[in-house]
Amino acid sequence: MKRYLEELDIEQILFGYNDMPPTKRRKTDEENIKGRYNLDKVKATKEWTKETFEIQNIRKKGEALELKALQILRAQNIITNMSKAHLLEETKEGTKLKQIIGDRGIDLFGEITIHEQTIQWIGQCKMTKQLTNTVINEMKGLLSTRPNTIGIIIYGGSKSSQTESIVETSNSDIFLSHIEELHTIRKQIEIKQSQKGIRTMSITKMFIEEMEDVEFDKNGRILKAKRIKNVSTQIWGTSSQNEDILN
């Protein structure tokens, strides 16, 4: 009889253990981002633009635009980071902002993945009444040394018709977006990618292990060679390896 009771107790314990509530599924990174930044809640309105333009401090006005842009971009599952770094100073009164390190013309940066293709991007934010052509030319210069990178210029004022024509001359795609339309930027990039493809700079590097009887021109380019061994080329971080090349 005693043995039967012991077996019964074991069965009751096991039953109680199996009756525990199921564990909750962990959210993915994408779900966490979208949960934190709800696009309908963070997108800019005309009222937000008006209130931001009323800020008298130019620096604070610009920082307000950068923060709003960061929230809107992250809500679209676009990896976004701020470029500015802050130096803090410890004083008797507490921690104070000592200096804002320059961002070299880049306010935001990150990457976006579309149809399994990952593209880097850099952004500039301009909370001015008129977007000048100087900003476009500056972005073109920044992109000229960055392979597989597009530019996004976010502005709060107006732009001229000439601005669009300057953008078209860039070797890499530049997307212009008013802050009130920034919540559609992912769709704009996706449409461009599916219809015409994304235009970015391509940089090719060549690595040569060994060369024999080589002649160069005045610019250091190879004119001819008897033998070139183990040539490796690298394009946008991907590489292809070839065997010995004989001339």
127 neighbors 156 (Cβ within 8 angstroms):
yes
173 neighbors 200 (Cβ within 8 angstroms):
yes
Asked whether residue 131 falls in the same domain as residue 40, the answer is yes
Q: Comparing 180 with 32, which gets the higher pLDDT?
A: 180
pLDDT of residue 36: 67
Q: Comparing 43 with 214, which gets the higher pLDDT?
A: 43
Asked whether residue 153 falls in the same domain as residue 240, the answer is no
Residue 73 lies in a domain: yes
Q: What is the mean pLDDT of the chain?
A: 77
Answer whether residue 12 shows pLDDT above 50: no
Answer whether residue 207 shows pLDDT above 60: yes
130 neighbors 159 (Cβ within 8 angstroms):
yes
> Strand 158-159 to strand 149-155: parallel, antiparallel, or no bridges (unpaired)?
unpaired
Answer whether residue 243 shows pLDDT above 50: no
Neighbour count for residue 185 (Cβ, 10 Å): 22
Answer whether residue 245 shows pLDDT above 60: no
Asked whether residue 146 falls in the same domain as residue 216, the answer is no
Answer whether residue 67 shows pLDDT above 70: yes
Neighbour count for residue 123 (Cβ, 10 Å): 26
Beta strands in the chain (DSSP E): 79-82, 85-91, 94-101, 108-114, 117-126, 130-131, 149-155, 158-159, 174-178, 204-216, 222-235, 238-241, 245-246
User: What is the number of domains present in the chain?
Assistant: 2
Least confident of 89-93, 122-126, 177-181: 89-93
Residue 21 lies in a domain: no
Answer whether residue 240 shows pLDDT above 60: no
Q: Sorting pLDDT into bands at 50, 70 and 90, what band is 70?
A: very high
Mean pLDDT of 33-53: 86
Asked whether residue 62 falls in the same domain as residue 166, the answer is yes
CATH number for the domain that contains residue 112: 3.40.1350.10
Out of 174, 195, 216, a domain closes at 195
Answer whether residue 117 shows pLDDT above 60: yes
Residue 22 lies in a domain: no
Q: Is the pTM of this model over 0.75?
A: no
d(CA 102, CA 13): 64
Least confident of 17-31, 57-71, 125-139, 155-169: 17-31
Structure tokens at 130: 């008129």
156 neighbors 176 (Cβ within 8 angstroms):
no
Asked whether residue 64 falls in the same domain as residue 159, the answer is yes
Q: Sorting pLDDT into bands at 50, 70 and 90, what band is 203?
A: low
Give the structural domain span for 138: 30-82+99-195
pLDDT of residue 4: 43
Residue 88 lies in a domain: no
Asked whether residue 166 falls in the same domain as residue 187, the answer is yes
Out of 195, 218, 236, a domain closes at 195
Residue 135 lies in a domain: yes
Answer whether residue 247 shows pLDDT above 60: no
d(CA 196, CA 194): 6
Asked whether residue 63 falls in the same domain as residue 161, the answer is yes
Neighbour count for residue 76 (Cβ, 10 Å): 20
pLDDT of residue 128: 94
Question: Which run of H or of E encompasses 143?
Answer: helix 133-143
Asked whether residue 240 falls in the same domain as residue 216, the answer is yes
Answer whether residue 47 shows pLDDT above 80: yes
pLDDT of residue 225: 83
pLDDT of residue 218: 79
Asked whether residue 167 falls in the same domain as residue 72, the answer is yes
pLDDT of residue 156: 96
